[in-house]
Structure 1
Amino acid sequence: MDIGQKIAKSVGLDRNLFKGWPSQFRINKYNFTSKSLGSSGVQIHTDNGFLTILHDDECVGGLEVMNKKGEFVAVDPWPGTLLLNLGDVAKVWSNGRFHNVQHRVQCKEAAIRVSIATFLLGPIEEAVEAPPELVDREHPRLYIPFGYEDYRKLRLSNNMRAGEALDLVRAPISSNSA
C-alpha cells in the first residue's frame, strides 16, 4: 500500500486512497523440462488488480512484457531487484494515465523457475473508479465505476485475460466533451 500511495502522489493525490484494499501473496513454481522448451509457462495476460510486486527468479529467465509496438521483449533476471507491474485496476483508477502491462512466461531452459508475487488488488467496499481529481474536461471519465470482484468474474467468464475486458466497462462517449 505504501508503493500505491507513492504512485498516487505522482499524479498529485496525497491522501490514503488504498485503505482496506486486499492483497494477495503467491509463489509460482514452473517445472520446465527439455520437452517444454519454447512453450508458455503462463499465457499472455494482464494482472486484474492495481499493482504487482514481483521477485522474479534470479537465475532462470522467461518473463516477457509487451512493448508499445506489440512485440514481446524479455525481462532478464536482475539479482536483488523487484519488478513492479500495473494492472487493469490501475488503468481504470488513473483514468487511463497508467497502463496495464501484457506479459507472459516462456520456457527458455529446462530448469525449475520460481517467482514470488504480492498483488494489491482492488477495493472491496467501494467501486473501482478514477478519483474526481483525475477526471475533468480534458480527461473525461473513461470507465464506468464497477466492483472489483464483479470485474474479476467478468474477465473469467468471458475468458478475457489480457486487458480486453476493460472494453466492456468503458464509459459512453459524451457529446459534451468536445
Structure 2
Amino acid sequence: MGKESAPVIDMKDSSNLAEKIVKACEEWGCFRLVNHGVDMELMAEMKAVTRSLMDLPMEVKHKNSHPEPGKGYTPPNMASPYFEGLSLYDMASPGAIDHFCSQIHVSPHQREVLNKYAFALYDLAQFLGMKVMEGLRMDGELFKDWPCQLKMNKYNYGPQTIGLTGAVLHTDPGFLTILQDDEVVNGLEAVHKITGELVPLDPIAGTLVVNVGDVAKAWSNGRFCNVKHRVQCNEATVRTSIALFVLGPRDEKVEAPPQLLDSGNPRCYVPFDFEEYRKLRASTKSPTGEALEHFLAKSS
C-alpha cells in the first residue's frame, strides 16, 4: 500500500466541491488545488516579482516595517536562520498595497503584478470561505472584512544547509493559508493527523496549497485540523514561496457558530480575540497551536 498524500481538489469538478473541501479540512487540514482560476501567467509574474524583491539589499527590505512584530519584514533569525520574508499586512484595506510599495520602492510594473495577484488570491479565499459554509450546510459569508496578510518568502539554502529545517514545525495562527509553493524546489511537509508522520507535499506546477490554521480549529469547534507543517532543505538552491494568510475576524471574537453546537458537541473553546491569541502564541512560544489550550471551555 502506497504512502498517503494530502488531497488534491480539482475546482473544475464542481460535484460535491464544498463537501470535498470540508472533508479535507477535517481529515488533513491541508489540500492542493488544481484549476483554481488564478491565471498561470500571473502566478509566474508574481514569482518573478518575489524573487527580485527578495534580492533587494537588506537595508531596503528592513524598510518594510510595521509597529507590531510579524506584520513587516522578517529577517533571518535564530529559529529560522535561512528564512526571510516580506509582508503586506491587511492587504485588502485601502492604501495597503500602495504603502507597501512605497516602503521598498516597488516599480510600477511590480506594483501592478502585486495588486493583481493579491486580489486574485483574496477572491479565491472568499470563494473557499463560501464553500466551507456551504459544505457545513450554513448560510452567510465567512471571511467578509477579515484582515489578510500576503507574505513573500525566501529560503537561502546552500550546500551546508542540506538536511536542515528552513521553517520550523508550526501551525498557522489564522483560519487558512493559500500558498504558491516553489514549483521546482520541494521541501514542504505536513504532519498526518492520525499517524503523526511527516508527509511530503511535493510541488505540482500551477497548483496552490491550502493549509488550515488554529482559528479554523476553534471556529469549527474542533472539527477542522490545524495542520502542523515545516519546510526542509533538500537541495542547495534558493527556494521561494508566496502565501496569503486569512487571519481572523476584525471586530468580533473567534467562536464556533451555533449551527456547529448541540448536546453531543458542546462548545470546545471560549470566544477569543484573534490579535490577543496571536500575541499569546508569541509570548508562550507556541508554534504548533498549544496556545489554543488557554481557551478550552470548561466541561460541565
TM-score range, shorter chain: over 0.9
**Aligned with 2:137: secondary structure?**
coil
Find 2:157's aligned residue among 32, 35, 41.
32
Amino acid at match of 1:121: L
Amino acid at match of 2:299: I
| Contact 2:167 2:230 survives alignment (8 Å) | yes
- In structure 2, runs of 5+ residues without a counterpart are 1-125
- Work out which structure has the larger RCO, using CA pairs closer than 8 Å and 6 or more positions apart in sequence: 1
Structure 1: how far apart are the matches of 2:142 and 2:200? 33
- Structure 1 residue 118 corresponds to structure 2 residue 247: no
Structure 1: how far apart are the matches of 2:227 and 2:274? 18
- Structure 1 residue 52 corresponds to structure 2 residue 171: no
Q: Normalized per residue, which structure has more strand?
A: 1
Partner of 1:94: 220
Structure 1: how far apart are the matches of 2:146 and 2:295? 21
Structure 2: how far apart are the matches of 1:113 and 1:103? 16
Structure 2: how far apart are the matches of 1:14 and 1:97? 18
Find 1:131's aligned residue among 231, 245, 257.
257
- Structure 1 residue 146 corresponds to structure 2 residue 272: yes
Task: Provide the identity percentage.
Answer: 54
Q: CA deviation at 1:17?
A: 2.8
- Structure 1 residue 17 corresponds to structure 2 residue 162: no
Runs of 4 or more, structure 1, over 2 Å off, are: none
Q: CA deviation at 1:133?
A: 0.7
Partner of 1:161: 287
Partner of 1:66: 191
Partner of 1:42: 167
| Contact 2:133 2:139 survives alignment (8 Å) | yes
**Aligned with 1:78: secondary structure?**
coil
The TM-score normalised by the length of structure 1 is 0.95
Tell which structure's C-alpha radius of gyration is larger: 2
Amino acid at match of 1:148: F
Amino acid at match of 2:297: A
Q: CA deviation at 1:136?
A: 1.0
Q: Normalized per residue, which structure has more helix?
A: 2
Structure 2: how far apart are the matches of 1:99 and 1:115? 23
Query: What is the aligned length?
Result: 174
- In structure 1, runs of 5+ residues without a counterpart are none
| Contact 2:169 2:230 survives alignment (8 Å) | yes
Moved more, 16-25 or 110-119: 16-25
RMSD of aligned residue pairs (Cα, Å): 0.8
Structure 2: how far apart are the matches of 1:15 and 1:138? 24
Q: CA deviation at 1:46?
A: 0.2
| Contact 1:4 1:51 survives alignment (8 Å) | no
Q: CA deviation at 1:148?
A: 0.2
